[in-house]
A and B are shown apart, each in its own frame.
Chain A
Amino acid sequence: MKRFLPGSARSFQSLGALLLMTLALSFATPKFLTVVNELNILRQISVNLCLSVGLTLVILAGGIDLSVGAVLALSGAVAAGLLKSGIAFPALGFELQFTVFGALLSGVLVGAIAGLANAFVITWLLLPPFVATLAMLSIARGLTYLWTGGLPITGLDPAFDFLGSGFVLGLPVPVWIVAILTILATLLTTQTPFGRHLYAVGGSERAAYLTGLSVRKIRVYVYVLAGALSALAGVIVTARLDSAQPNAGLGYELDGIAAVVIGGTSLAGGQGSVWGTVLGCLIIGVLNNGLALLDVSPFWQQVIKGVVIILAVVLDRWGARQERLT
């Protein structure tokens, strides 16, 4: 349960920082602590959280995935394109039309395939994850431009848009989706052998291998999961905007890594939690929202976010040292 609940000193720091920020902002502006605004924040972070959860799995296993933003764009575009115009095979003389569910599934499948390609390059061609996924970033973005012809795909089925802008029981649909995913990912990492193996591979790949764990298989799974979750984030973005933008998700990989790191997960692998990433996303979301409400220029917001990342890691390292000494 240690990783599940904010029991360790590390999670406490992130949680403390979040509460402190919330408190400060609610005094600074009356617009902050309102139901509407909080729901707004939750919806804003849901896309980042969705792909950050996948990224957390990859990083816990000792890897990195820079392609999440580009895969998000590709999957969103594929889902939107299939939904709107289907796909034609002139040579075979038939055409396929897609339902909302079929388009959604296809989009997620595209993301999973991109993840599988990453895994192949990393585990079979033995390229470092950084290089492999950097290449995928470029490939997926290029494919997105090819698929869309560089133009947005708009005018989608309202049933599809519901995924992005609908409400169920007073909560935005993306928040529901991401909340369920987060719970599943938390259970996966803390309560299943697969989750434990993930930490073992990230903590010491050689020890994991010599314990008889299938390091390669674990790698493949995390990259496929990261791809699929990025794809789902892409579907959500597309549904919310009612359009697939070829430039969607630009730089999201960095926001994702920021959230993971602020949440106390070590980029060296083996240490951290999905729960920490939730806090990391919330911190970034509250920060962006609060600064916007205070009329701070978006340019300054970027600067402040950078400082927060440094602060988070410094605090985290300090916390880790305290933990080791006890």
Chain B
Amino acid sequence: MTVSVMLARGVTKAFPGVKALDDVTLRLDAGRMVALVGENGAGKSTLMSVLSGVIQPDAGVIELDGRAIRFANTRQARDSGVAAIFQELSLATNLTVAENILLGSEPVTALGRIDYVRMNEAARKVLDRLGLQISPATRVGSLRVAQQQGVEIARAIRGKARVLIMDEPTSALGREETQRLLRLVKDLKHDGVAIVYITHKFEELDGLADEIAVMRDGRLLTQAAYADMTQQEVVRMMVGRADLGPSVGNQAPSVVAGTALEVRNLSLRHPTRSNDCVVRNVSLRVGRGEIVGLFGLVGAGRTELLEAIFGAHGRRTSGEILVHEAPVRLRTPAEAVAAGLGLVPEDRKHDGLVLGMSSRENAALARIGLRGGLAFLTQSREATLVSPLLQRLGFKGPSVEAPVRSLSGGNQQKVVLAKWLATSPKMLLLDEPTRGIDVRAKSDFHRCIRELAAQGMGILFASSEIPEVLGLAHRVIVLSQGTITGEFTAAGTTPDQLLTAALPRGSREALLT
């Protein structure tokens, strides 16, 4: 029998109060991909951190080519050919793409100055391999999240990676970029790289994964050939109960008369190019009790549209907005909140939450300053305000006093949602609300959204996952290059129709052939 590239045996890691990894054994072979699945909090990320040298295990052995090895840090791991791409991007946003990719191994001239020509060339080569259309001299901070993710991947594969661990690498990517990434992963496999691929999206695994490893509560339950397990079996194993069906389809909206939100001719000027628009002449209507999906590829302007409605772009926005049939002027988010709007942003860690605060403090944050809010704060009064909301959303954190930083993505998102429910909004805007959230939390979240709509709230949510858009929305609006290119009733619409409408002009035909 051949020696595995990497073998983790009996790895155990405990944090105060939690056994994050419990006697985990995982085998990685050259040129094979192991799909690592499990609900959030199952221990996938901890396992990844142990394998890539971020943290050291309390017990157990990690072998590389059959020899026990101990990584003191990620640098050592990377030097041994073990690279990891975390969900949290770790790029220096003030540096250029090339500077980031070659950070720590910059080519220098004879005089010891950085050789930018060679540096940009080397970066270009890696980017080309990924099919990324980014100039190496661009500042990373000016890129969109999807592009930054690409740079992160470029940096990881720049060296001679033998083991590559990826944590939901496609969560921020659009469909096209996802396909490209998956092709790249396939190429890396052919080159003999052993790959660990953490994901929630099963559709990405077909034809790619060789094995599947399922984790639950810090234990690795099985590592089996991918073909030998059905998706049902895997999900059942992840969840640990048998009753999890697919999410229920969407019924027609409960008929509530009236409009929750109407947008007329909304345009958003480009931040630097003043005669260019990021969002152009968008008009849309969301009825009370209606769930409207906003579909589009990365860069279509979904986030910008939601933020512009919410007043986050100030004077760059033009157009009319009506909430419950009354015209409102939304120049700041504060005005939007006062008018009865709430926004769940795409990047919940940085835009949705104050990470240093507890769940209670975060959930109360929008309410306490509003008219009729709490004038004098005490822990118990705030808890009385937020606990029922969190409970209703199925919050499963240890306590509302626990720092929100320590919660799983699903629970964090529930805190963000609770923050808005506390203000009794008329209209909720959600931007990729279930990104990076595990299967069960996702269906929980969908159920909450349906309940809120049933009570008469208007919902406008952006998503790049077609099943989610078609499964949750009553009506779907498709955005491409900042304008509306299609509108569908969710029932009876096929993924192809949405996708065709979402493609940028010109490339539509190209993809269809």
In the complex, which residues of chain A have a beta carbon less than 8 angstroms from the beta carbon of B474?
none
- Which of B312, B338, B369: most chain A CB closer than 10 A? B369
Which of B89-97, B226-234, B347-355 sits within the interface? B347-355
Known: A210-B333, A211-B337, A211-B419. A193 touches B354 (CB 8 A): no
CA–CA, A197 to B345, complex, Å?
19
CA–CA, A222 to B308, complex, Å?
29
B402-443 contacts to A (CB < 8 Å): 403, 405-406, 419
Q: Which residue of B lies closest to A187 (CB)?
A: B376
A side interface size, CB within 8 A:
28
In the complex, which residues of chain A have a beta carbon less than 8 angstroms from the beta carbon of B343?
210
CA–CA, A208 to B354, complex, Å?
8
Q: Is A203 an interface residue (CB 8 A)?
A: yes
Q: Is B375 an interface residue (CB 8 A)?
A: yes
8 Å CB contact of A204 from B16, B353, B374, B406: B353
Q: Which residue of A lies closest to B376 (CB)?
A: A191
Q: Flag if B356 contacts A203 (CB, 8 Å).
A: yes
- What is the minimal beta-carbon distance from A297 to any residue of chain B, in angstroms? 41
B335-368 contacts to A (CB < 8 Å): 336-338, 343, 345, 350-357, 361, 364-366, 368
In the complex, which residues of chain B have a beta carbon less than 8 angstroms from the beta carbon of A199?
354, 356-357, 361
In the complex, which residues of chain B have a beta carbon less than 8 angstroms from the beta carbon of A214?
332, 334
Q: Is A190 an interface residue (CB 8 A)?
A: yes
Q: Flag if B352 contacts A210 (CB, 8 Å).
A: yes
A278-303 contacts to B (CB < 8 Å): none
CA–CA, A213 to B343, complex, Å?
13
Q: Flag if B368 contacts A193 (CB, 8 Å).
A: yes
Known: A193-B368, A193-B369, A196-B365. A204 touches B15 (CB 8 A): no
Q: Is A1 an interface residue (CB 8 A)?
A: yes
Q: Flag if A207 contacts B334 (CB, 8 Å).
A: no
Q: Is A167 an interface residue (CB 8 A)?
A: no
Q: Flag if B356 contacts A271 (CB, 8 Å).
A: yes
Known: A213-B369, A214-B334. A200 touches B419 (CB 8 A): no
Q: Flag if A207 contacts B15 (CB, 8 Å).
A: no
CA–CA, A207 to B343, complex, Å?
11
Known: A211-B333, A212-B366. A200 touches B357 (CB 8 A): yes
CA–CA, A208 to B334, complex, Å?
10
In the complex, which residues of chain B have a beta carbon less than 8 angstroms from the beta carbon of A317?
none
8 Å CB contact of B312 from A190, A194, A210, A270: A210
In the complex, which residues of chain A have a beta carbon less than 8 angstroms from the beta carbon of B353?
204, 207
Q: Is A192 an interface residue (CB 8 A)?
A: yes
8 Å CB contact of B369 from A1, A197, A209, A270: A197
- A95-135 interface code vs B (CB 8 A; 1 in, 0 out): 00000000000000000000000000000000000000000
In the complex, which residues of chain B have a beta carbon less than 8 angstroms from the beta carbon of A196?
361, 364-365, 368-369, 377
Q: Which residue of A lies closest to B373 (CB)?
A: A193
Q: Flag if A207 contacts B369 (CB, 8 Å).
A: no
Q: Flag if A325 contacts B16 (CB, 8 Å).
A: yes
Q: Is B445 an interface residue (CB 8 A)?
A: no
In the complex, which residues of chain A have a beta carbon less than 8 angstroms from the beta carbon of B375?
192-193
- A45-83 interface code vs B (CB 8 A; 1 in, 0 out): 000000000000000000000000000000000000000
Q: Flag if A212 contacts B351 (CB, 8 Å).
A: no
Q: Is B378 an interface residue (CB 8 A)?
A: yes
- What is the minimal beta-carbon distance from A215 to any residue of chain B, in angstroms? 9
Q: Flag if B351 contacts A206 (CB, 8 Å).
A: yes
Q: Flag if B369 contacts A203 (CB, 8 Å).
A: no
In the complex, which residues of chain B have a beta carbon less than 8 angstroms from the beta carbon of A207?
350-354
- B1-15 interface code vs A (CB 8 A; 1 in, 0 out): 000000000000001
In the complex, which residues of chain A have a beta carbon less than 8 angstroms from the beta carbon of B246?
none
Q: Flag if B334 contacts A203 (CB, 8 Å).
A: no
CA–CA, A324 to B17, complex, Å?
12
Known: A193-B368, A193-B375, A214-B332. A209 touches B312 (CB 8 A): yes
In the complex, which residues of chain A have a beta carbon less than 8 angstroms from the beta carbon of B337?
211-212
Q: Is B395 an interface residue (CB 8 A)?
A: no
- B368-399 interface code vs A (CB 8 A; 1 in, 0 out): 11000111111100000000000000000000
- What is the minimal beta-carbon distance from A270 to any residue of chain B, in angstroms? 5
Q: Flag if A270 contacts B354 (CB, 8 Å).
A: yes
- B132-163 interface code vs A (CB 8 A; 1 in, 0 out): 00000000000000000000000000000000
Q: Which residue of A lies closest to B343 (CB)?
A: A210
Given A324-B406, A325-B16; 12 other pairs, CB 8 A cutoff: A190-B377, A191-B376, A191-B377, A193-B377, A195-B377, A196-B364, A196-B365, A196-B377, A197-B365, A207-B354, A209-B312, A212-B337
Q: List 17 A-B contacts (CB under 8 A).
A: A192-B376, A196-B365, A200-B357, A203-B354, A203-B356, A204-B353, A204-B355, A204-B356, A206-B350, A207-B351, A208-B354, A211-B337, A212-B333, A213-B334, A213-B365, A213-B369, A326-B17
| Pairs of residues from A and B, 9 with the lowest C-beta to C-beta distance, nearest first | A212-B337, A203-B354, A193-B368, A193-B369, A203-B356, A212-B334, A212-B333, A204-B354, A200-B354
